[in-house]
Amino acid sequence: MSIIIVVLQTVVGLASLLALWRLVRGPHLADRVVALDLLASLAVGFLVLRAAQTGHWMYVDVALGIGLISVVGTVAFGSFIEHRAREARAEGP
């Protein structure tokens, strides 16, 4: 059982590295926000696996908190992108 969890943690870690690459590379702000949202989901998955590994089920509550904050952050970033473009259009030539 523990071997399976370690393998799954490796898979999730690999996925986090890929998402991190997009976070650094992303040409637009929206791409970076997508990568950040994905990273939060991957962190939730990793924490759940960690909870199953150690038997400390409080990690699930931490994962739920991370998910809550990530959703609020994504919606706020979407609103920010929209407002910024509208202001740039109003000030533009």
Partner 1 sequence: MTTLAILAAVLASIGAGFMLIAALGVTLFSDTFARLHCAGKSATLGVACMLLAAALWSGDGGVALRCCLAAVFFMITGPIGCHALARAVWRTRS
C-alpha R_g of the chain? 17
Residue 66 CA to residue 51 CA, distance in Å, equals: 15
Determine which residue in the list 52, 91, 92, 93 makes contact with partner 1, applying CB under 8 A.
52
Instruction: Provide the sign of the torsion angle of the four alpha carbons 24, 14, 66, 83, taken in this order.
Output: positive
Is 87 a binding residue for partner 1 by CB under 8 A? The answer is no
Determine which residue in the list 1, 2, 90, 91 makes contact with partner 1, applying CB under 8 A.
1
Residue 57 CA to residue 40 CA, distance in Å, equals: 19
3-state helix, strand, coil in the chain (%, to 5): 90, 0, 10
Is 57 a binding residue for partner 1 by CB under 8 A? The answer is yes
CA angle 25, 37, 83 (to 5 degrees): 85
Q: How far is the CB of 41 from partner 1 (least distance, A)?
A: 4
Is 62 a binding residue for partner 1 by CB under 8 A? The answer is no
Residue ranges binding partner 1 (CB under 8 A): 1, 4-5, 8, 11-12, 14-16, 18-19, 21-22, 28, 30-31, 33-35, 37-38, 41-42, 44-45, 48-49, 51-52, 57, 60-61, 63-64, 67-68, 70-71, 74-75, 77-79, 81-82, 84-85
